[in-house]
Amino acid sequence: MKIEEEILLKDVHAKILSYLDNPQIKPIETVGNIRKDLNITLGSSSDFDHIRTSVDKYLQYSTKTSSSNFFNQLYGGFSITGHIGEMLSSITNNSMYTYEMSPVSTLMEIELVKKMSSFVGYENGGGIFVPGGSNGNLLAMLAARQRKAPETMKKGLFKTAELTVFVSKDSHYSMVKSAVQLGIGTDNVMKVDTDDEGKMLVSDLERLIRESIEKNQKPFFVGATSGSTVRGSFDSLNEIDKVCKKYDLWLHVDGSWGGSALLSRNHRSLLEGSEKSDSFSWCAHKAMSQPLICTVALFKSPSILREINSIEGTNYLFHDKTDEINMGEYSLQCGRRVDSLKLWLTWKYLGDIGFEKHIDHLFNMAKYAEEKIESSEELILISPVNYLNLCFQVKPNGLTTEQVDEFTIAIRHKLLEKGKAMVNYAKIDNKNCIRLVTVNPDLTTEHLDTFFENVEAMSILLLKEGY
C-alpha cells in the first residue's frame, strides 16, 4: 500500500467514527440535490481529496440506520464485531465457491449452519449463506420442486402437472416472486386466509389444497411465516405440519424476521414445531443485528442443496480433492462473498447466552413500547404485539376515522422532516398505522420515551398548523 493510500484509509476511518458518534436522523434529500452536490456523473478522473469529499457527501446523505432514532425497517443498530467481519471480508476478498479460495470462512460457514440448524431442530441438517431471505425462500421452493417433481431438473415444467404453492395472505412477497422465477406462475400461488392476528388459517389451507387436487394440479410447497413483516405474526407450525404430512407437501418456514426468537428460551415457543419443517430461512442481519446481508437457508436434508445445484461441466473449478469442502456445489451462485465471518465473530464474542440476552432485550423494549401505547389516550394499538413489531394509530379528539388514517401518516412524515425519528407505516384491516420496530440492540426505555414524546409533539404541531 502506498503512503497516500494509507493516509486516505486512516482519514476515512476517522470519518466513519464521527458518523457513528452522531445519532441524528436527517430528512431524506431530493434526487436532484444529491445528484448536484455529489456530482454523481462519471467520466473524468479525480484525486484522493475528491474521494474524501465524496465520502463526506455519502455519509451526509445516507440514511442513518445505526441511530437510536431509526425504527423504519426490520433491522437497525451497529455491531462492532459485525463491522470488523465486513472489513476483513472486503480486505481478504475471498470467494465462497471452493475451499482453496476460502478455507477459513468455509469452516466458519459450516459451523454456523450446524449451530443454527440445532436451534431450528434439525439433527443433521445442511445449509448455506444466501443473499437475503428472498433468496432463501427461492432456494427452498426449488428444493421442494425437486422432491415433488424431480423430472423438472432435466425436462423442465413442460411434462409436469401444474405445480401449486400455498402461503398466507400475510406472507412475504418474495414467495410470489419465487414462483415466478421458477416458472410456476402467480396464478398457482394460493393465498391462505389469516385470523385476526395475521396467522394462517389451517382450515383454509386444507380447503385450498383439496381444491387444487380436484383440479388435477400438483400441490408441492407450503410456506409458513414466522414473524410477518407488518404484524410480526407466527403461523402455527405444528398444525400446518399435520396438513403437510397428510398431503405429502414440503413445509418451509420463512423465519427471516422471527427466526432469531429461537435464540431465547423465553420466546422460542413462538416457533414451536420448527423441527418438523423441511427448510428454514433466517436473516441474522435483522434481529441478530449483523450488517447486511447475513442470511442462512437451512435444510433438514443435508444432501438436497447439492442435488439441486450441482451440475456437470464444472471441473475447471471443483477439482477432485477429497479433503476439501467446496460450498459452491451447494449454491445457486458461483462467486459468493463471505457473509459468515461477521456472524461467526459476533457469536464468538457474545456466545449463546449473550445472544439470548440480546433477543430478550429487544422483546423487553417491544413490551415497554406496547405499555406506552396502551397508557396513552391519543395512541391506539392496532394489532396485538407478537414480536418486535408494534402497529398503532395517532387519534386526537375530533378527527374522523378517515382523518385519523391521513393524520397517522402525516405524523410519520413530520417526524422525519424535523429530524426526530424515522419510522415506517403500513396498513392493517384498511387502517393506516405507524409500524414501530424495536430491533436496535442499543435501544433503551429513554429512547422510546423520547420517541413517543416526539410523536405527541408532532401531533400538536400538525393540529396547530391547521391539519
Residue with cell 486516505: 8
Which segments of 234-313 does DSSP mark as H helices, in order? 237-247, 304-309
The confidence score (pLDDT) of residue 322 equals: 46
Q: Is the predicted pLDDT of residue 319 greater than 80, yes or no?
A: no
CB 130 within 8 A of CB 139: yes
Residue 315: per-residue pLDDT: 61
Top-confidence residue, 189 or 157: 189
- Report the chain's mean pLDDT, rounded to a whole number: 95
Mean pLDDT confidence for 356-371: 99
**Alpha-carbon distance 341 to 190, whole Å?**
38
For residues 106-140, b (16+ Cβ closer than 10 Å) or e, as one string? bebbbebbeebbebbbbeebbbbbbbbbbbbbbbb
What's the pLDDT band for 318 if we cut at 50, 70, 90? low
Nearest CA to 184 among 156, 205, 147, 209? 156
Q: What is the pLDDT of residue 16?
A: 95
pLDDT confidence of residue 320: 58
Of 320-329, 377-386, 410-419, the range with the highest mean pLDDT is 410-419
The whole-number pLDDT of residue 387 equals 98
SS3 393: strand
* pLDDT score, position 341: 98
Q: What CA–CA distance (Å, rounded) separates 172 from 168?
A: 9
The yes-or-no verdict on residue 323 having pLDDT over 70 is: no
- Which pLDDT score, from 0 to 100, does residue 327 have? 86
Taking residues 238-263, report their average pLDDT: 99
pLDDT tens digits for range 89-145: 999 999 998 898 999 999 999 999 999 999 999 999 999 999 999 999 999 999 999
Tell me how far apart the alpha carbons of residues 365 and 376 are, in angstroms, rounded to a whole number. 17
Give dist(CA 382, CA 374) in Å, integer: 10
Q: Show the cell assigned to 393.
A: 394509530
Indicate whether 379 pLDDT > 90.
Answer: yes
Q: Phi/psi zone of residue 32: left (φ > 0), alpha (ψ -120 to 50 degrees), beta?
A: alpha
Dihedral of the alpha carbons of 413, 419, 423, 429, in degrees to the nearest 10: -20
**In the structure, what pLDDT confidence band is assigned to residue 384 with cuts at 50, 70 and 90?**
confident
What DSSP string runs through 437-462?
E---TT--HHHHHHHHHHHHHHHHHH
Q: Helices in 93-185 by DSSP H: which ranges? A: 103-120, 133-148, 152-155, 174-181
Average pLDDT over residues 380-388: 93
If pLDDT is split at 50, 70 and 90, which confidence band does 398 have?
confident
Kindly calculate the radius of gyration of the chain based on its CA atoms and give it in whole angstroms: 24
57 grid coordinates: 457527501
Beta strands in 229-365 (DSSP E): 250-254, 279-283, 295-299
| Distance, CA of 264 to CA of 352 (rounded, Å) | 9
What one-character DSSP code corresponds to residue 328? Answer: G
Whether the Cβ atoms of residue 320 and residue 331 lie closer than 8 Å to each other: no
In angstroms, the CA 364 to CA 422 distance is 21
Share of the chain above pLDDT 70, in %: 97
Per-residue b or e along 50-67, where b marks 16 or more CB atoms closer than 10 Å to that residue's CB: eeeeebeeebeeeebbbb
Mean pLDDT, residues 298-310 taken together? 93
Q: What pLDDT does residue 312 have?
A: 59
Beta-strand ranges (E) seen in 236-311 are: 250-254, 279-283, 295-299
**pLDDT per position as a tens digit, 416-465:** 999 999 999 999 999 999 999 999 999 999 999 999 999 999 999 999 98
Write down the pTM of the prediction: 0.95
